[in-house]
Amino acid sequence: MAEEMRTSTRDLDRLRERMAGWLRERAGAAVTVSELSRPSANGLSSETLFFTASWMGRSARCVARLAPAAEAMPVFPSYDLRAQFEIMRLAREKAGIPAPRGLWFEPDPAPLGTPFFVMERADGDVPPDVMPYTFEGWLLEASPAQRRALQDATVGVVAALHDAPFTGDELAVLRSGGAQAPPVSGGGLRGHVDAQRAYYEWAHGELRIPLLERAFDWLEAHWPDDPGPAVLTWGDARIGNVMYRDFAPVAVLDWEMAAVGPRELDLSWMIFLHRFFQDITEGAGLPGLPDFMRRDDVCRRYQELTGYAPRDMERLLDG
């Protein structure tokens, strides 16, 4: 796209005033809100704002998540912030995953111009997308043992999410489209592929992408007889959406794409996103991290944790 993709177009001073007024009503007391700021790295979906709120001797370091303004260039056609808020709560409470602790969800667009939610702010290191962590930075400089610890712990996050005993009623928030922006028809692998095709139709505009269209055709021609059990999937399962401290996850972020589907969706996405960065790095003549997030290592660790052997991973990642 010739125009830069952007989701942050709102005036921060005006947002600060409106946020303070909204919090004042919530707290029933005078509230002081610090200057708002935006993250400088990673993330292109919801608008993210950092601030500190103080009232009645209390103080909270907060993150607000808003759908992009209408004049921005959104990544998704719609944003279900209630679903994100609820899925993060479920992941934290029922799967033991360090998803951010939600503080408030506001469905009324009046206070800030869009529905939004506020969560606690966490501190940690995030493997960057730009420049990719395969080019430079703390993960590249880490020892092989430290990188393996990070890899295994991240696979552990996915395993815990997939094995958590969520009920159908708890996951009903995803049935009307949920945190994944394109409509989900029926859930499972069928729902996932239908949602991705709908997303492609929305995103491409007048530009057709023959490679993706051939990929959809290939999927239909090679549809599995048994797609496997459907679980709650994170959707954007990758290390760039995790904060780490001492190579252990302390915050699992970005749940917009959460959906119900086969376990292999999260695992293959995690492996593929690293391969994507690794291929770019090798293309630039640099070594990158060829021994990191390898398919067999990830699947072996996942099976050790869950007892489930991921299926058709060769077809997903080599076909």
Whole-angstrom Cα distance, residue 154 to residue 249?
7
Strand, helix or coil at 179?
coil
Calculate mean pLDDT across residues 167-193.
Answer: 68
pLDDT band for position 177 (cuts 50, 70, 90): very low
pLDDT band for position 221 (cuts 50, 70, 90): very high
116: β partners: 66, 106
**Residues designated catalytic:** 236
Nearest to 46 by CA among 115, 138, 128: 115
Q: Where are the alpha helices (DSSP H) in 228-262?
A: none
pLDDT band for position 315 (cuts 50, 70, 90): low
Q: What are phi and psi of 47, to 5 degrees?
A: -80, 130
For 148, the token pair is 């393996």
Does domain 138-318 fall under CATH 3.90.1200.10? My reply is: yes
Indicate if the pLDDT at residue 254 is higher than 80.
yes
Q: What are phi and psi of 138, to 5 degrees?
A: -65, -35
Spelled out in words, what is the top-level CATH class assigned to the domain 12-120?
Answer: alpha beta
Indicate if the pLDDT at residue 44 is higher than 80.
no
Strand, helix or coil at 59?
strand
Strand, helix or coil at 119?
strand
Indicate if the pLDDT at residue 300 is higher than 90.
yes
The dihedral built from the CA positions of residue 248, 148, 270 and 210, taken in this order, carries a sign that is positive
Q: Which long-range contacts (CB under 8 A, 24 or more apart) does 296-304 make?
A: 297/151, 298/151, 298/155, 298/267, 298/270, 298/271, 299/267, 301/151, 301/152, 301/155, 301/156, 302/155, 302/158, 302/159, 302/263, 302/267
The dihedral built from the CA positions of residue 185, 257, 251 and 117, taken in this order, carries a sign that is negative
What's the predicted TM-score (pTM) here?
A: 0.88
For 138, the token pair is 């703390």
pLDDT band for position 180 (cuts 50, 70, 90): very low
Rounded to a whole number of angstroms, the distance between the first and last alpha carbons of the chain is 29
pLDDT at 2: 34
Whole-angstrom Cα distance, residue 209 to residue 75?
17
What pLDDT, in 10s, does the model give residues 28-39?
888 999 999 988
Calculate mean pLDDT across residues 1-26.
Answer: 76
pLDDT at 228: 85
Nearest to 243 by CA among 9, 39, 1, 24: 39
pLDDT at 39: 82
Give the chain's length.
Answer: 319
What pLDDT, in 10s, does the model give residues 265-274?
999 999 999 9
What pLDDT, in 10s, does the model give residues 106-144?
999 999 999 999 999 999 999 999 999 999 999 999 999
> For 24-38, b where at least 16 C-beta lie within 10 A, e where not — what string?
bebeeeebebeebee
Strand, helix or coil at 243?
strand
To which residue do tokens 């679980």 refer? 231
Domain boundaries, the chain: 12-120, 138-318
